[in-house]
Amino acid sequence: MKLNLAIDRRLRLKPIALILLFLMGIAFVVAMVRYASGIGPISDLSNAYPWGFWISFDLFTGVAISSGGFLMAGAVYILGIEKFRPLLRPAVLTAFLGYIMVAVALLVDLGHPERIWYMMIFWNHTSVLLEIGICVMSYLTVLAIEFAPVVFEGLKWKKLAHIFHKFVMPFVILGVVLSTLHQSSLGSLLLIQPTKLHPLWWTAILPVMFFVSAVAIGLAMIIFESSLSSRYFKRGLETHLLEKLAKAIPIVLGIYLILKFGELAFAGELRYLFTSGGMSILFWADILIGSVIPIIWFSIKRMRQSPNALLAGAILLLLGMILNRFNVSWFAVQHYDPLTYVPAFMSNVKYIPTLPEMAVSIGIFSAGILAFGLAAKYLPVFESEHHEAHAPSGD
């Protein structure tokens, strides 16, 4: 009977795993072509468009959706809010995998993965990218340390797991600091283009805007991950905890909107809200989908207490904020023909993401989904469910 159940489970999981492995295989082949032949054969990037889909999706979006890890770690370890502990391990795992995916994507984008260590030797002290690179590398190490006890528990190395648990606090504090720096420094990276980024998005407080929005994204991502994992792994959903996180979302987004419109008013740029054509449409789309509607949605108690409504609201917020990241890093940036220095849209220089470009990102994302599923299946990521599943049956 048990053997039949095991076979049945493998059969049910196999199609999903095969699809993910297939997508990963395509991404691997494209990456190898990129390393062997350069970026030209697989990408539509150019001197006029030095970055596009990869940076907007893999970096700006990938880092933002990984922010739930430092939020939960800070809440449980530093603030001592123990009731959120059931959400801690999945959030840290999501952040850990998210940063690994960001690093892998950058290796494909930049090329020469064998030179990744050069960053630590040849420092450019005037570049924000140096701070971003150091933060990514350091925070990825911290996340590995934070998640190590889960791996050791899964391997039955209880003493080693206990040692890591005992000394994890300094690393959690370091992780919160690093993540705060990194989430905001992505905004700092865009400060150098006040003449290229549309006034509706460029502001001197971009680092603050990036951090505040990352907090909202992190809360939504925890709700999203918990909701999907409860459905897929047929485990209980911590609705009472997710409701508390959802209750904080309108507050965070309210702060975000006050900063956003307050800065536009202070800079005298409110005139662009309805007079910028397509840019105005993109602006109001990310404001309404990513902020206004979620504020209303999560302000309603009935929505916060419904599993389906929680998931729907989280998806809406994430879509709106992803659009915001695409706007600020790509759509709202004015590109120029490097030869004539006229706006790219007025010349023949255009950028449309190619299928290989998107295949790389999809493959990396598929690897993250598969890794999360394997970790959740074989490691005590969901502590209570894991203990129940491995408890003696008594027969």
Q: What's the confidence (pLDDT) of residue 344? A: 59
Q: Does position 392 have pLDDT exceeding 50, yes or no?
A: no
Query: What string of H, E and C letters represents the secondary structure of the chain?
Result: CHHHHHHHHHHHHHHHHHHHHHHHHHHHHHHHHHHHHCCCCCCCCCCCCCCCHHHHHHHHHHHHCCCHHHHHHHHHHHCCCHHHHHHHHHHHHHHHHHHHHHHHHHHHHHCCHHHHHHHHCCCCCCCHHHHHHHHHHHHHHHHHHHHHHHHHHHCCCHHHHHHHHHCCHHHHHHHHHHHHHHHHHHHHHHHHCCCCECCCCCCCCHHHHHHHHHHHHHHHHHHHHHHHHHHHCCCCCCHHHHHHHHHHHHHHHHHHHHHHHHHHHHCCCHHHHCCCCHHHHHHHHHHHHHHHHHHHHHHCHHHHCCHHHHHHHHHHHHHHHHHHHHHHHHHCECCECCCCCCEHHHCCCCCCCCHHHHHHHHHHHHHHHHHHHHHHHHCCCCHHHHHHHCCCCCC
What local confidence, expressed as pLDDT, does residue 383 receive?
66
Question: Average of pLDDT values for 240-253?
Answer: 96
Which tens digits make up the pLDDT trace of 52-103?
899 999 999 999 999 999 999 999 999 999 999 999 999 999 999 999 999 9
Residue 391 clears pLDDT 50, i.e. is over it: no
Percent above pLDDT 90 for the chain: 64
Is residue 207 predicted with pLDDT exceeding 70? yes
Which residue is associated with the tokens 């030209």? 40
- Per-residue pLDDT tens for 178-189? 888 889 999 999
What pLDDT sits at residue 289? Answer: 97
Tell if the pTM clears 0.75, that is, is over it: yes
Query: What is the reported pLDDT for 339?
Result: 64
Q: What is the pLDDT of residue 67?
A: 92
Question: How many of the other CB atoms lie within 10 Å of CB of 43?
Answer: 22
The confidence band for 1, taking pLDDT boundaries of 50, 70 and 90, is: very low
pLDDT above 80 for 7 = no
Mean pLDDT of the 254-264 span: 97
Whole-number pLDDT of residue 384: 55
Give tens-digit pLDDT for 266-280.
Answer: 999 999 999 999 999
What per-residue confidence (pLDDT) applies to 262?
A: 97
Confidence (pLDDT) at 6: 44
Which tens digit of pLDDT belongs to each residue from 50-65? 888 999 999 999 999 9
State mean pLDDT over 370-375.
92
Rounded CA-CA distance 108/27 in Å is 10
For 108-151, what is each residue's pLDDT tens digit? 988 888 888 888 888 888 888 888 888 888 899 999 999 999 99
Render pLDDT for 335-353 as a digit per residue (tens, 0 to 9).
776 666 666 555 566 888 9
**pLDDT tens, residue by residue, 272-320:** 999 999 999 999 999 999 999 999 999 999 999 999 999 999 999 999 9
